[in-house]
Chains A and B, each alone.
Chain A
Amino acid sequence: MDSVFTNYQILCFALTAITAPFLAFVFSLIFKKLAGAFGIVSITVSLVFSAILFFSIWQKQTFHFSFSWIKLGNVSVNIGILLNDLSVIMLLLVSFVALLVHIYSVEYIRKEALRYRYFAYLSLFCFAMLCVVIADNLFILYAFWELVGFASYLLIGFWFTKKKAVQANKKAFIMNRVGDVGFLIGLMILLSQFHTLDIETIFGAKGIIHSSFIHNGNWVSPFASIPDYWLTIAGFCFLLGACAKSAQFPLHSWLPDAMQGPTAVSSLIHAATMVAAGVFLLLRVSPLFNDVVLTTMASIGLLTAFMAATIALTQNDIKKVLAFSTISQLGFMVLAVGVKDNAAAIFHLSTHAFFKCLLFLAAGMVIHQLHHVKDDTKTKFDEQDMRNMGGLARFMPITTVVFIIAALSLSGLPFTSGYLSKDAILISVFEWASERGGVYWLFPVVISITSWLTTFYIFRVIFKTFFGDFKLPALINKKEKELHLHDPNLWMKIPTIILAVFCFGFFFALNPFSLEGSWLHHAFNLEPHAGGLLHLFVPIYINALSLVLIASAYFIYAKNKIVFTNHKSWYYQFSYHQWYFNVLYDKKLVGLILWKAKITFWFDKHIIDGIVHLSAKAILVLAEIVDWVDTHIVDAFVNGLANIVSSWSVWFKSVQNGKLQHYFIWMLFIFLSFIIYKVII
């Protein structure tokens, strides 16, 4: 043990880091006025302890603590903490981004009456997310996975008086449930196969998964042997869970709708951390996946990345573009896991968290300031619609600069963090395809196109929003100077500036052109890349065309030199309507389910209820019969007996009528009867 801390101290640090947000959640609901302060203090505490844990664990040791929680037969469910390289980097990432978002939110949410709820929910989310990250056990991970989903549900629906927000949070929750079912099934397959859900025991370096093998069409583990297709099914189940959480095809359509929540929330949850939980899960269970699952995963990632990028090209809502950009980037990560380059996935997850969070926060600044304009001038316009913007660079220079830095990082231009991580993925995909050849060459081609699309759509946003003519004054009949548009105050500026600093490649590699020099990538990279031509070639051709695309975007959207007039064309409409997935889901799937519901309702009402009513009637008739029998036979028997007894008693009573001579006659009668009886017998 070369750590400066004892195990006990590490455990205490980890527990403090996760408990602080939970306490903030509870106290925020009690002391409503101090909610923001509680949130910031608690997440600062988490960040400090995460940093301590990071520096004592990173690349040095794996800390694992657990105790038995539930025992069912020979299966025991443990509860505990697993801190390895993946956990601590996520821990640091989540708490750091969350702290910045908390600070940003103070200003963003200042005018809301229910802001204590906002901070309470945000703290609840941080608690759940940190627990997901350090859970040592898939069962605990699943529990907090659900809690993360629930916190996300609460935050999407924060403006619960908006009908769209309510619909969006329901949609997010329901679509996530589909994935959760997959996760749960996968969990049970693993439990039955390995008799434990402990991540380190199953997937660790000496885990059981490495001693299990496929033999004669059976998947054999030390505990059980089942047909080998269950291995594939288990892989698909976890993939489904990750797809829902990370908004991958076909369960992606909740994420754009989730943009109904406050922008700061979108930034933290739906860009930087929660959606990365799906990728995190894939990384945690990655030894489980066999070739079929991995290929499917790569295909899903590729399709999602491409699809979301094409959709992002035509959206007019600034947050929608960023949402589809997030989906697309998550597709990159899933693709990286699919081509077995976990290091690139983790690396891209980390860099993406910074630059995508920054993009959202900067977009939030624009929306926030335009909202102020809307309130001040008492006019009506959509403050998220890019068609109302343009030329904002003159009014909001800092916002513009940070947005451009983040956009450069997203496009993967040199000196940025995105350059390193995205090229890591591209190179892996190239190597993977060259190993397999044939139809697999589609992957690098499509992912390169997607990468260029990414550059184009994000610079479309920049030029539409920050450059060109300011279109809003004409729309609401005001002069520019009347709008008083300016950068927001320090609460919002400082977090974005800090994030912008982290978008540069220097924090991840001393030489910003060398992927191998990156400490983060290096830590997870078990098989170093072959190097050589690809390392030189891929960044150059990607970036060269990217620069061309940036220039063309400038001419199209800032200078209006080239004008697209084909808004009616099928491919524009196809992209604008988000590949018609919502239409498909709403009309076909929802329609089908409603139709089924109607049938079952009819069945319920007419058949089930009919049976129930019929049986009720039958029982009533039976009851009538029993009632009749009771009154006329049973009661009659009892009453008859009573009547006989009472009539006898009346008769016998009449014997004792007090008349002397009657007594005498009776005496005589009985005496004579006795005598006669004796004589006869």
Chain B
Amino acid sequence: MVQDNANGQKSLLRSIDVITIVIYLLLIAAGWISVVGASYNYGDTDFLDFAARSGKQLTWIVCSFVLGLVIMLTDDRIYDTFANVIYVVMMGILLVTPFIATGTKGSYSWIHLGPVSIQPAEFAKCATALALAKYMGSYGFNLSNPRHFIKAVAIVVLPILLIILQRETGSALVYLAFFLVFYREGMTGSVLFIGVAVIVYFVFGLRFDAEAMPHTLTSVGRFTVLLLIWLFTAVLVFRYSRNRKELKWIVGIGVLLTGGAWLISRYVKPFDISWVQLALCVGVIVYLVVESLRQRFPRLALIAVFTLGSLFAYYSADYMLNNVLQPHQQKRVRVLLGLEQDINGAGYNVRQSEIAIGSGGLYGKGFLNGTQTKLKYVPEQDTDFIFCTVGEEHGFVGCAVVLVLFLCLILRLIYLAERQTFAFGRIFGYSVLSIFLFHVFINIGMVMGLTPVIGIPLPFFSYGGSSLWGFTLLLFIFLRIDAGREKYRR
């Protein structure tokens, strides 16, 4: 028993994933530098002063290192064992939070414990991930069984409802990330694909509707959406076709027609090349239907239905928005989608954050030299909009480094999740990486004006102890589980 333990400890040190730890430390360091930059006031000199946000954040960072160490010293099996207990307790806390929380900015999600405030929603993610991993990893679980699937979804939906009660819609939306886990575990991809496709059509189509493509009379939005419809169709054909000979035609003629149309518009006479794209899509539909009948292969017809549905969804949304809805309703939809400059609201924030990032240039203005963030032009600059500081002070290079670090983290986590012996570890791993991906996708997209303004933090960057500990907890529990996997392999 003792020896086993000693062996376990020894192998534990060896089996911690160092690459993830290094990425984590790099992100934490870059995050702290950003908080220093974002919360800096002219004349401040002492970044370590606890009164300043930079000093506080440093304290939270040290605490999270301690937290990580403690997690590494625990037994990996307790998470599996106590997952349900943790989940139930956490849901209980979420339930009482709105009643004991003092409202700040219309949200009732903070519990004040003496000098510090804690946001339980940040920790509920971890509890949900554990519970979901335990349930879906249990023997006999089958996602294609509707009862099982509904139960799994219920584990995710419960915290969503409780968090919406706290008026924290942004934090609630994060739980949509778990659908990526369902996908990995066997949920049919078309649910995810169609959902994503429709959102992409809407967002791109409406967001860039007014911007003209260079050298054409086409709007960037329409061109992008039609290109995506064609591309998605091609991907589906690649995925589901039997011999993929259709693919050659679809891709070849598509590239030829679109490229040719653009060249004619560029060098001969500018025209609206979206008509060519529309004709291409219609041609593809007809071709797929004909091939489906000829080969007696109904899947091709289904792909044609997807293409037709996509065209219909895009054009009807476009028509509805521009012709059916009243102007004030149109405005509301645009603002809701984050598409319209609502000068007094989210639109102003996004405009200012775009200015801040855009003014950074290739190398940025240098540490503490950003004017837009220092002078408080960007709201929430050390929390939700912290990426602006990276953009303004460290430029394209700094932003690219941060984005690539996040990408490395996520890819590494995929690798780690896939090497788990048990479904519990894999599912938890995917939960963790899905949550990170969702946060990075929404947060960075938001500050660059690509995704709707949803107030969720950027992992390891945004100021605040709760979110930092929440993310550390997620990452280190998974690393602990990963470190323990060796034991079972022997």
Partners in one complex: no
Report which B residues bind A (CB closer than 8 A): none
